[in-house]
Amino acid sequence: MDKVLGIDVGGTSIKVGLFTPDGELLEERKIPTPALVDDDAYAVVTSGITRVLAAHDAAPADVIACGLDIPGPVADDGTVGFLPNIQLDPEGLVGAITATFPRATVAFVNDANAAALGEVWGGAARGVQSFVLIALGTGVGGGVVTGGRLVAGAFGAGGEIGHITVERDEPLTCGCGRHGCLEQYASAKGVVRLYLEECERRGVTPVNVEHATDTLSVFKALANGDECAGIAVDKMCDYLALALSQISCVMDPELYLIGGGVAGAFATFAPRLRERFQELALPTCKDVRIEAAGLGNQAAMYGCAYEALRLRGEA
Amino acid sequence: MDKVLGIDVGGTSIKVGLFTPDGELLEERKIPTPALVDDDAYAVVTSGITRVLAAHDAAPADVIACGLDIPGPVADDGTVGFLPNIQLDPEGLVGAITATFPRATVAFVNDANAAALGEVWGGAARGVQSFVLIALGTGVGGGVVTGGRLVAGAFGAGGEIGHITVERDEPLTCGCGRHGCLEQYASAKGVVRLYLEECERRGVTPVNVEHATDTLSVFKALANGDECAGIAVDKMCDYLALALSQISCVMDPELYLIGGGVAGAFATFAPRLRERFQELALPTCKDVRIEAAGLGNQAAMYGCAYEALRLRGEA
């Protein structure tokens, strides 16, 4: 029976999803790995996968497609760009995979782009032709789908929603070296920073924030009527709505999906986000749907598997 | 012999292009028309076209595709939105066209979107899979092509580049009711206004500007060393580069084409535009090409013909 793999490539482990070609997730398993740059490391990956297959009475030759989602740019033609956060030799890993799974079509996909495709295959974007996923996590990523196809971009920057400029006067520098990127306000780190800044401005003691990305405490404070938390979340929604209004002037999608860790509080901030979007967007497209993503942190695993299947011509 | 029509629908006339299916323009003719809302007006159009066909030894039955570009939104599904600047009954006109040219596949395309497709068929984007055309005219329009296909948008707002917000603090209101749209600075009207404003600020007498969209005089002044013209064109380039840098974060095209009347001065402002883009864009995609469009005011006529042919499955 044909099988499809979706592999989340992280810094210290990979997460393997074993799927049927119809998109049913049979098993998900984490495999701790060293840096993916030599044969020993590749063998850890391929033998780990082979064991997962065996547990489902499947052989390496049953794998027809294998997607890998990675935290870095992948261009329209599949070229992998610079990966600052992981050690990975893409060619070596592909070589090892095709040697072990000879029938498999292999595809690299940027992680946020993969998450968008995952929502198409098994999440909140099933049957949707054009939408944009915005993943509000440690950073802000995104994936753009139009005409049912991913827009990876000529330089792999398609869906880099987190780097839309929303505040030209921002004095702080973004990780990309520029100023006033959406990511500086709508990431988990951004929301926590906006909260602490507002508390400082007012001279009030903030609630206990566990770490730089602890948005849970900020949203809990908001639920308890903390005005500074209210201001922080309003600012986040304002900047996010502005970025969405810019995207609509470019691609005019039928749907926005909000994912990532911060989206755990989607029900709390969605009314404000939708209201601000209505105010800021071009009137023609102000009624676009803004919804929560459906697959959580499995989305990228689904999506890279789907893209490999699509490349093969079977999705 | 099969023929293809591209029809530019304007306020007081239509312009008909007769093409071969390979994209060779056989003839271009202007037909003055009353408001396109009744049978008499439709007959003026169809009989005018029939005469053009006859001059090329072709009959109405030779027309296999007929595109119409219109100054208003057309959604991904072909639905025509509100048309503020012309009187047109889309259904009636299509009925008259299909009655006269029974084999023809008919398609409506927004004019700026059509111009982008025109550049694919016979202009500066031949063979390019992903690019954005920005038409700097009386207003600022745009067309987005990705994976070789037009992105018309769920509400017909795909490529509404002119309404990307580039200056939230702008006190003047844009035609769309919002503030700080690119169109307010990079349209012909915008450039002339920026020039006159700078002259007033400095208390210097501007050169003679013939009308509100006379950028020719502004660029002539620039060539003669007029500092206010220099400031105006710098501002235009700054805002345009900012908008392009936002687009790159969404779909990361391989090429930007600058068209429209203002692009007559492309050679003058291109170096400044490219320099500002390099400074403002996400580093990954800062080396994207920024070039002049190739087809001038024939682009939309080419493009709507091409889209109708594509809908038929022959392009």
**Chain B environment of A155 (Cβ under 8 Å):** 252, 284-285, 287-288
Contact of A125 with chain B, judged by CB distance below 8 Å, is answered with no
Q: Does position A82 have pLDDT exceeding 90, yes or no?
A: no
Confidence band, pLDDT 50/70/90 cuts, at residue A76 = confident
CATH number at residue B18: 3.30.420.40
- 3-state DSSP assignment of residue A286: coil
Are B68 and B9 in contact by the 8 Å Cβ rule? The answer is yes
Please enumerate in sequence order all residues whose Cβ is within 8 A of that of A64, keeping only pairs 6 or more positions apart, or say none: A2, A3, A4, A21, A103, A104, A105, A309, A312, A314
The kind and range of the H/E element at A5 are: strand A3-9
* Same domain assignment for residues A165 and A284: yes
* Same domain assignment for residues A160 and A173: yes
List beta partners, residue A257.
A133, A291
Locate the chain A residue with the closest alpha carbon to B253.
Answer: A154
Q: Cβ–Cβ of B253/A73 closer than 8 Å?
A: no
Q: Does position A99 have pLDDT exceeding 80, yes or no?
A: yes
**Chain A environment of B155 (Cβ under 8 Å):** 252, 284-285, 287-288
* Same domain assignment for residues B98 and B143: no
Considering the domain boundaries, does residue A122 fall inside one?
Answer: no
Q: What is the pLDDT of residue B177?
A: 94
Q: What is the pLDDT of residue B98?
A: 95
- 3-state DSSP assignment of residue B154: coil
Q: Does position A158 have pLDDT exceeding 90, yes or no?
A: yes
* Same domain assignment for residues A89 and A149: no
Q: What is the pLDDT of residue B82?
A: 79
Residues 128-157 of A with CB under 8 A from B: 129-130, 132, 144, 146-147, 149, 151-157
Token match 């030759």: residue?
Answer: A61
The kind and range of the H/E element at B68 are: strand B63-70
Q: Cβ–Cβ of A245/B165 closer than 8 Å?
A: yes
* Same domain assignment for residues B147 and B109: no
Q: Cβ–Cβ of B250/A144 closer than 8 Å?
A: yes
**Positive or negative torsion for Cα B157, B159, B162, B165:** positive
Q: Cβ–Cβ of A176/B282 closer than 8 Å?
A: yes
Considering the domain boundaries, does residue A24 fall inside one?
Answer: yes
* Same domain assignment for residues A145 and A286: yes
Q: What is the pLDDT of residues A167-203, one digit of tens each?
A: 999 999 999 999 999 999 999 999 999 999 999 999 9
Domain range holding B67?
3-117+298-311
Considering the domain boundaries, does residue A288 fall inside one?
Answer: yes
How many angstroms separate the CA atoms of B73 and B80, rounded? 6
Q: Cβ–Cβ of B153/A252 closer than 8 Å?
A: yes
Q: What is the pLDDT of residues A113-148, one digit of tens each?
A: 999 999 999 999 999 999 999 999 989 999 999 999
* Same domain assignment for residues A137 and A12: no
Q: What is the pLDDT of residue A315?
A: 72
What is the total count of domains within chain A? 2
Considering the domain boundaries, does residue B122 fall inside one?
Answer: no
Considering the domain boundaries, does residue B135 fall inside one?
Answer: yes
How many angstroms separate the CA atoms of A278 and A264, rounded? 23
Considering the domain boundaries, does residue B167 fall inside one?
Answer: yes
Q: Cβ–Cβ of A252/B156 closer than 8 Å?
A: yes
Percent of chain B with pLDDT over 90: 86
* Same domain assignment for residues B272 and B206: yes
Confidence band, pLDDT 50/70/90 cuts, at residue A83 = confident
* Same domain assignment for residues B167 and B132: yes
- 3-state DSSP assignment of residue B313: coil
Residues lower than pLDDT 50 in chain B? none
Q: What is the pLDDT of residue A194?
A: 97
* Same domain assignment for residues B42 and B134: no
* Same domain assignment for residues A102 and A132: no
Percent of chain A with pLDDT over 90: 86
How many angstroms separate the CA atoms of B162 and B183, rounded? 5
- The count of other CB atoms within 10 Å of the CB of residue A198 is 20
Percent of chain A with pLDDT over 70: 100
Residue B40: is it exposed, middle or buried by C-beta count within 10 angstroms (0-12/13-18/19+)? exposed
**Chain A environment of B153 (Cβ under 8 Å):** 130, 248, 251-253, 285
Q: What is the pLDDT of residue B138?
A: 87
Q: What is the pLDDT of residue B201?
A: 97
* Same domain assignment for residues B81 and B195: no
Considering the domain boundaries, does residue A183 fall inside one?
Answer: yes
Contact of B113 with chain A, judged by CB distance below 8 Å, is answered with no
**Chain B environment of A149 (Cβ under 8 Å):** 147
Q: What is the pLDDT of residue B105?
A: 96
Taking residues A16-29, report their average pLDDT: 95
Contact of A176 with chain B, judged by CB distance below 8 Å, is answered with yes
